[in-house]
Amino acid sequence: MSSIRQRTLGLALLVFGASMLVIGFISYRYAAHEIEELHDASLAQNARLLEGLLQAPMPDSDRALLLNSVESALLRAEQSDNRLAGHRYESKLAFQLWEGDRLLLRSASAPDSPFNQQPPGYSTMRVNQHDWRVYVLEIIGSNKRVVVGEREDVRGELISAVALRILLPDLIGLPLLTLLLWWSIGWGLSPLSRMAEQIRARDPHHLKPLTLHPLPQELETISGAINRLLERLRQLRIREKRFIADAAHELRTPFAVLDLHAQNALAADNANDREEALHHVRSGVARSTRLVSQLLTLARLDPEEEPLPEYRRSDVLHETRETLAELAPLAAERQQQLLLDADSPANWEIEEEPGAIETLVQNLVGNAIQHSPAQGAITVTLKASAKSVIVIVDDQGPGIPAAQRNLVMERFQRAGPGAGAGLGLSIVERLVKRHQGVLLLDDAPSGGLRVLATFTRNALSQRQPKNNRP
């Protein structure tokens, strides 16, 4: 694709050229009309002068001498060389003086054919392969006529000369105009060139905003959009670095423990010690797998301005039942009960990111199983209203003091020595916020922790205005 400079120059020249052609054509037509009018007026004026000669009060003998003298002068002008001639168009003007059918006088350039056959006034006739513009003036009170004519090719030459002189400055000035337009467009686009050069020379790791001042109004919009993009990239890189650092920090200890148990299994002297070490290895792999899964889930939820996922209509009660069925073996292993309290006929549909309810229930119930004592009970209660659905998880663990409840929402913050990686509640909080909901921690009736997650039914319609802002 051609550059903006070339496209702008081409368009400007096209518009200017078309405008020049239209203006030139109109000027040509106007000039031609005015030249025709001027020459017609000149014919009439010459006819009036000749009329004055014929009407002069003098004896006929003197008038005959005057006419002969005029005819001789016109003949000399016709036969003289160009240096002595008044003008090169002089010989293309002609007149005839008639009295009845008798020719009194004619110019040397007049054709032999008579002009007096034309009606009074202006007319056009063809004589000797030339078109003539003729003006016939009848002298009132006599049978005399004055006929003045001019060849049409004279007018054509004059019109062509006028048109050329009108268009010649434009034709000569067009290359100069092209150079001036090329320079002026380049000067106008120079801020864009400077912006492109700054972006081209920038280090990929340098994500600070562009600093170009002053900028035209059009480029301020582009510069603002680029700076916003750079800021989002910078925030994403900060999150990425933080995620990598956190993941490396959290995975270092579990992997070291796994390596230690593997060494113990290799060095075991009997089957019981080896089986115990392998059991620890298996438990460590399960914890590491859960940690990696939580880290990936947290990374997916972390960017605040990622494109909207495909929201869907989901049944909260159905998804909760399926998730609890998957977690039942884990609770049974710890001799715990999973209880679900929900009004089945209620409306449980919400707009949900795929897997959001499943992830939320897995994290909340998983934490409750980990903190509740053996033979305890974890209760999941669902409540529905016209605008929202509430998921409540109660456990029988030690709970979390009110002063620490805001702190445990942050990543890698543990509530006690037996806690996990400290990611579960952070993941749940992000999920709830992405669905325009609210997450609250409170005391459970049984003395443990109560977690209340409120989901709005139409999360997507409430989130779109934020993401679609200009």
Q: What is the pLDDT of residues 443-467, one digit of tens each?
A: 888 888 898 999 888 765 555 544 4
**Of 114, 134, 115, 116, whose CA–CA distance to 124 is shortest?**
134
**Of 391, 372, 371, whose CA–CA distance to 316 is shortest?**
391
160 shares a domain with 21: yes
pTM beyond cutoff 0.75: no
345 shares a domain with 454: yes
Residue 198 within a domain: no
233 shares a domain with 254: yes
154 shares a domain with 44: yes
Residue 84 within a domain: yes
Worst-scoring range by mean pLDDT, 54-68, 75-89, 320-334?
75-89
φ, ψ (nearest 5 deg) of residue 107 = -80, 160
Do residues 123 and 134 lie in contact, with contact meaning Cβ atoms separated by under 8 Å?
yes
Domain that holds residue 461: 310-467
Worst-scoring range by mean pLDDT, 103-107, 118-122, 389-393, 433-437?
103-107
322 shares a domain with 296: no
Enclosing H/E stretch for 45: helix 4-54
What pLDDT, on a 0 to 100 scale, did the predictor assign at position 340?
Answer: 92
315 shares a domain with 280: no
Last residue of a domain, one of 300, 318, 353: 300
Q: What angle do CA 34, 35, 41 make, to 5 degrees?
A: 90
Say which amino acid occupies 122: Y
φ, ψ (nearest 5 deg) of residue 389 = -130, 135
Length of the chain: 470
pLDDT digits (tens, 9 = 90+) for 82-91: 545 555 555 5
Residue 200 within a domain: no
Q: Give me the CATH number covering residue 62.
A: 3.30.450
Last residue of a domain, one of 265, 300, 335: 300
Q: Residue 260's CB: how many other CB atoms inside 10 A?
A: 14
Indicate the average pLDDT of the chain.
76
What pLDDT, on a 0 to 100 scale, did the predictor assign at position 382?
Answer: 93
φ, ψ (nearest 5 deg) of residue 380 = -110, 120
């680029």: which residue's tokens?
226
Do residues 432 and 360 lie in contact, with contact meaning Cβ atoms separated by under 8 Å?
yes
Residue 463 within a domain: yes
What pLDDT, on a 0 to 100 scale, did the predictor assign at position 380?
Answer: 92
343 shares a domain with 282: no
Q: Residue 334's CB: how many other CB atoms inside 10 A?
A: 13
Looking at the structure of the chain, the number of domains it has is: 3
* 2 compared with 406, residue with greater pLDDT: 406
158 shares a domain with 26: yes
151 shares a domain with 73: yes
Residue 44 within a domain: yes
> For the chain, what is the total number of helices (H) and then of strands (E)?
10, 12
pLDDT digits (tens, 9 = 90+) for 178-220: 888 888 877 777 777 777 777 777 777 777 777 766 666 667 7
Residue 274 within a domain: yes
Last residue of a domain, one of 272, 300, 328: 300
Do residues 419 and 436 lie in contact, with contact meaning Cβ atoms separated by under 8 Å?
no
> b/e string for 110-137 if b means 16 or more Cβ within 10 A?
bbeebbbebeeeeeeeebeeeebbbbbb
Q: Residue 362's CB: how many other CB atoms inside 10 A?
A: 22
328 shares a domain with 281: no
Name, in order, each residue with C-beta under 8 angstroms of 332's C-beta and a sequence gap of 6 or more.
Answer: none
DSSP character for 403?
Answer: G
Longest dimension (CA), the chain: 165
Q: Give me the CATH number covering residue 349.
A: 3.30.565.10
Q: What angle do CA 28, 33, 35 make, to 5 degrees?
A: 95
Residue 338 within a domain: yes
**Of 108, 87, 91, 92, whose CA–CA distance to 151 is shortest?**
92
369 shares a domain with 286: no
What pLDDT, on a 0 to 100 scale, did the predictor assign at position 35?
Answer: 79
414 shares a domain with 269: no
57 preceded by a cis bond (ω within 30 of 0) = no
Kindly tell me if the per-residue pLDDT of 167 is higher than 90: no
